[in-house]
Amino acid sequence: MVHGHKGFQFQNWARTYGCCPEMYYQPASVEEVREVLALARQQKKRVKVVGGGHSPSDIACTEGFMIHMGKMNRVLQVDKEKKQVTVEAGILLTELHPQLDKHGLALSNLGAVSDVTVAGVIGSGTHNTGIKHGILATQVVALTLMTADGAILECSESSHPEVFQAAQVHLGCLGVVLTVTLQCVPQFHLQETSFPSTLKEVLDNLDSHLKKSEYFRFLWFPHSENVSIIYQDHTNKPPSSSANWFWDYAFGFYLLEFLLWASTFLPCLVGWINRFFFWLLFNRKKENSDVSHKIFTYECRFKQHVQDWAIPREKTKEALLELKSMLEAHPKLVAHYPVEVRFTRGDNIPLSPCFQRDSCYMNIIMYRPYGKDVPRLDYWLAYETIMKKFEGRPHWAKAHNCTRKDFEKMYPAFPKFCAIREKLDPTGMFLNSYLEKVFY
């Protein structure tokens, strides 16, 4: 019998959203998940499955039942020949990496954070960079889903293919994901090289950068011409690092937080801060190499508000220059560094922001120094306007102001996803206020 807790308070990692579910469950087996759903049907309650709680939006919030899958975190099967691994949905990527290491396997691409569950990573459309690589969900070859009525669907390209495609970016609204099978690759090491450049150089030579490095990204420092280019590529070099722990982490971190806090009283400081930190930390070439998952993931050191939209890749230059000239035209608008620009291969997943187009993700950020909110809404609105103008689609886990009308325009397969959702969850058991804005 699964026991729930009352009075649990959920908060996401950035502490930008929280909720008090009526009951909080941590099932340890498929049977216990089924029990919670039966109880929810009986009491007409809504259910929300939560992963690592990293999404900087309210996508995981509910006043009904909350299910945390942390006890269902085993590796169930490793197929060495196919290089595939089947895991329970609640496993954190931090728990998965050492297990894959043991078998000489790795995931070919990862996002920046690994304190996240496998089901959450795919459900929110998490991505990294590399024009040969799709979003993380494209590494999924099969999954099992428990629907609202307690039935289990085994989904893959060959079994329930339409549900499988939809469930790769499921937004937590199709059912409870129980297991996921991931396509791995042999374990590999990466060398990361970062070096300074200018916005003009990187935008004029975008195609050659994309060809030069498998996982290419760049950081632009708003209110300046400064850019840091980051290449990550396969290497046989032993692990090494040229980063200076004191400057890059300890001192740099505390100094930045203090200066950003000071800039809430003197917004004109922000441009100077961006340029100063570029000079301090990004103005020389740096190299480090390590096993792939250690290079892909890095510390998100600050509580922050984030927006991250995907636009067609060929519109990168135009959109970024428009963002730059918008900031120049409105000197009162401040933008923290960096604007992070990444590239992802197109796919056929109905609610993937990269659906049927190679994409550029443009990630903007506003930190919350010492938990203090910095005015950001004008910057947010201006950015969203530019992204919409260039046919952008927002990252599902990040904050955005879009509604069903927007999504119908953005996603050719939106009606198809809605039909699948309504069929699998006719009473809307897996909805919450975030998802109501999406579907109604």
Q: What CATH number has the domain bearing residue 124?
A: 3.30.465.10
* 323 and 223 within one domain: yes
* 108 and 82 within one domain: yes
Give how many domains the chain has, as a whole number. 3
Is residue 411, in this structure, part of any structural domain at all? no
CATH of the domain at 212: 3.40.462.10
Q: Peptide bond before 338: cis, by omega within 30 degrees of 0?
A: yes
Per-residue pLDDT band at 241 (split at 50, 70, 90): confident
Q: Is the pLDDT of residue 248 over 90?
A: no
Name the 3-class secondary structure at 281.
helix
* 106 and 36 within one domain: no
Q: Is the pLDDT of residue 372 over 70?
A: yes
| 3-state secondary structure string across 263-306 | HCCCCCHHHHHHHHHHHHHCCCCEEEEEEHHHHHCCCCCCCEEE
* 92 and 37 within one domain: no
* 316 and 245 within one domain: yes
Query: Which of 23, 52, 68 corresponds to the end of one domain?
Result: 68
Average pLDDT of the residues in 39-47: 96
Name the 3-class secondary structure at 307.
strand
Pick the closest to residue 342 from 94, 56, 109, 108 (CA basis): 109
Average pLDDT of the residues in 70-78: 96
Reading phi first (left if > 0) and then psi (alpha if -120 to 50, else beta), residue 54 is in alpha
Residue 171 is predicted with a pLDDT of 95
Q: What is the largest CA-CA distance in the chain?
A: 62
Is residue 98, in this structure, part of any structural domain at all? yes
In angstroms, rounded to a whole number, what is the distance separating the alpha carbons of residues 48 and 146?
13
Is residue 279, in this structure, part of any structural domain at all? yes
Percent of the chain predicted with pLDDT > 90: 81
* 205 and 178 within one domain: no
Domain span at residue 199 reads 189-394
Residue 300 is predicted with a pLDDT of 63
Is residue 436, in this structure, part of any structural domain at all? no
In angstroms, rounded to a whole number, what is the distance separating the alpha carbons of residues 103 and 94?
15
Q: What is the mean pLDDT of the chain?
A: 93
* 354 and 216 within one domain: yes
Per-residue pLDDT band at 168 (split at 50, 70, 90): very high
Q: Is the pLDDT of residue 12 over 90?
A: no
- Give the chain's end-to-end CA distance (angstroms, integer): 36
Residue 299 is predicted with a pLDDT of 65
Is residue 199, in this structure, part of any structural domain at all? yes
Is residue 405, in this structure, part of any structural domain at all? no
Q: Is the pLDDT of residue 214 over 80?
A: yes
pLDDT digits over 173-197, tens only? 999 999 999 999 999 999 999 999 9
Between vectors from CA 431 to CA 430 and to CA 432, what angle results, nearest 5°? Answer: 130
Query: Which of 68, 88, 109 corresponds to the end of one domain?
Result: 68
